[in-house]
Amino acid sequence: MILEEAIRILREAAVPVMETERIPLAQASGRVLAKDLQAVYDQPPFPRSPLDGYAVRGEDTLCASGEEPVELRILGKIFAGEVFHGEVHKGECVRLMTGAPVPEGANAVIRQEDTDYEPGKTGDYIGPDSRVKIFRGASPYQNYVYEGEDYRKGDTLLRAGTVLTGMHLGIAAGAGREELEVYREPVITVISTGDEVVAPGGDLAPGKIYDSNRFTVVGRLADLGLCRVESWHCPDDPTAMANQIRQAGKNSDLIITTGGVSVGEKDIMHQVMADLKGEKLFWKVSLKPGAPTLAFVSGGDKVPVICLTGNPYGVAVNFELLVRPVLEKISHNPKISSKTRMGKLKNDSPKWGGVRRFMRGHYEEDRSEVTILAGSQASGTLSSMAVCNCLVEIPEKSRGKAGEDVKIYLL
């Protein structure tokens, strides 16, 4: 089966999470908004001053100049957060600071720099006789921030489906919201298999290897912001594995397994699928590495189960190509899908021919160039992943020669 078809089938089987939850703003970055956010009042809620100066009737100041200043009586002084209780009439003004409400009667603000202001002396509000000389006037509504200039009550500020960033949280906070309604995060279960596989940390008995796959998958999920993940290891025991998947299916939105999908005697996942009365979606995708991927929907809870190869690099490749599109759908988060680019290949691919291949590469964004990494490109090796920042696709018919334009998948 071609890769695109496998992705289509998998996405069709995947069900987006529909439950929502209300969470505090400070925890909402990266989450997906489930409901449109509407403004419940005008922003700003009152006309305000954009600078430090004097609230005036613009018409009183129009003819002011350096030679012939206009002198106004100062009725009082307000800071941001305060309100002036009174009205500005002809020949009057109120000293005010940035963010303070423009008092009744005033319709413009004169910059402090355009007056004779000196702290505690001229232009300051000392008492009822305080006065200020204005050297440059303002027209009505100059330096005047309208009530509702930013948005009006009832305006839609954020649309459902928005992947929230700090900018969005600032908007929501500015609109007075302390919580947002977001989609519940998907719950994902990861199970590695293999009798030869042991948890890192313990001793390595002869014939055994450490379990890297479980941590590659759990780590990539975390990279994508998906942290409601349970993971463990299961030996090559089809009954135990079927039971564990059945159990996990009760509260998981997706189950990812590694190992046991090929044709060997211990490739248990076919038996597990049968035991679970799973509906097979596909087995084997035309790509390298990681061709024998198996996917099914479990019989009971109808949870998609993606069974990746055990080969560590095959796991990494299939996660990027097959699992991410599913994660995107179940989480409603378009940022989760792989970003692709075209890049110019800097060196010859050491492997080509047969099916589509995905090589470990290093992409230089500013030059749009990609290097296939030296070192082993064998599917069982992981060390050359250390500096890999992309997968390079060598199409079926391409030789993967230096200078060719190739598609890359950013990690």
Residue 213: which of 256, 244, 264 has the closest Cα? Answer: 256
Please choose which of Mg ion, ligand AMP, none residue 211 contacts, taking the beta carbon within 5 to 8 angstroms, the exact cut-off set by kind.
ligand AMP
Work out the number of other CB atoms within 10 angstroms of the CB of residue 303.
26
Q: Which of 249, 244, 247 is nearest to 232 (CA)?
A: 244
Q: How far is the CB of 375 from ligand AMP (least distance, A)?
A: 18
Q: Does 312 bind Mg ion (CB under 5 A)?
A: no
- Which CB, 203 or 265, lies closer to Mg ion? 265
* Angular region, 380: left φ>0, alpha ψ -120 to 50, beta rest: alpha
What CA–CA distances, in Å, run from 53 to 96, 148, 410? 6, 22, 52
Q: How far is the CB of 310 from ligand AMP (least distance, A)?
A: 2
Verify binding: residue 252, ligand AMP, rule CB under 6 A.
no
Give the integer Cα–Cα distance in Å for 122 and 116: 6
Subset of residues 327 to 386 that bind ligand AMP, contact rule: CB under 6 A = 380
Q: Decide whether 213 or 331 has the Cβ nearer to ligand AMP.
A: 213
Say which entry of ligand AMP, Mg ion, none residue 213 contacts (CB below 5 to 8 A, set by partner kind).
ligand AMP
Q: Which is closer to Mg ion, CB of 180 or CB of 307?
A: 307
Tokens of 169: 């949280």
Q: Which stretch binds ligand AMP (CB under 6 A): 29-37, 55-63, 189-197, 385-393?
A: 189-197
Q: How far is the CB of 212 from Mg ion (least distance, A)?
A: 13
With binding defined as CB under 6 A, does residue 260 bind ligand AMP? yes
If we measure between CA atoms, which residue out of 30, 331, 336, 303 comes closest to residue 186? 331
Tokens of 152: 């009006």
In angstroms, give the least distance from the CB of 264 to Mg ion.
7
Q: Is 259 in the site for ligand AMP (CB under 6 A)?
A: yes
Nearer to Mg ion, 10 or 268 (CB): 268
Which spans in 76-176 are helix H? 166-174
CB of 38 to ligand AMP, least distance (A): 48
For the CB of residue 208, give the shortest distance to Mg ion in the complex, in Å: 12
Interface with Mg ion, residue 259, by CB under 5 A: yes
The secondary structure element, H or E, covering residue 133 is strand 131-134
Element containing residue 339 per DSSP (H, E): strand 339-345
49 binds ligand AMP (CB under 6 A): no
Return the H-helix or E-strand segment holding 217.
helix 213-223
Task: Compute the least distance from the CB of residue 286 to Mg ion, in Å.
Answer: 22
Phi–psi pair at 372, nearest 5 degrees: -80, 130
What is the spatial distance between Cα 211 and Cα 196, in angstroms, rounded to a whole number? Answer: 9
Q: Which of Mg ion, ligand AMP, none sits in contact with 262, Cβ below 5 to 8 A by type?
A: ligand AMP
Nearer to Mg ion (CB atom), residue 135 or residue 296: 296
Phi/psi for 290 (5° steps) reads 85, 30
Q: By C-alpha distance, which of 308, 409, 402 is closest to 356?
A: 409
Stretch that binds ligand AMP, among 56-64, 180-188, 297-305, 307-315 (CB under 6 A): 307-315
Sole binder of ligand AMP in the list 59, 196, 237, 396 (CB under 6 A): 196
Q: How far apart are CA 107 and CA 109, in angstroms?
A: 7
CA nearest neighbour of 289 among 354, 342, 234, 340: 354
Closest CB to ligand AMP among residues 238, 260: 260
Q: Is 209 in the site for ligand AMP (CB under 6 A)?
A: yes
What angle is formed at CA 370 by the lines to CA 365 and CA 372, rounded to 5 degrees? 145
Closest contact distance (angstroms) between CB of 266 and ligand AMP is: 7
Which helix (H) or strand (E) segment holds residue 312: the answer is helix 312-318
Q: Give the x-and-dash track for 160-199 against Mg ion (CB under 5 A).
A: ----------------------------------x-----
Q: Which of 130, 192, 293, 371 binds ligand AMP (CB under 6 A)?
A: 192
Q: How many CB atoms lie within 10 A of CB 113?
A: 11
The structure tokens listed for 381 are 């090796």
Among 53, 58, 194, 289, the residue binding ligand AMP under the rule CB under 6 A is 194
The residues of the shown chain that bind Mg ion, judged by CB under 5 A, are 194, 259-260, 310
The residues of the shown chain that bind ligand AMP, judged by CB under 6 A, are 192, 194, 196-197, 209, 211-214, 258-262, 264, 309-312, 380
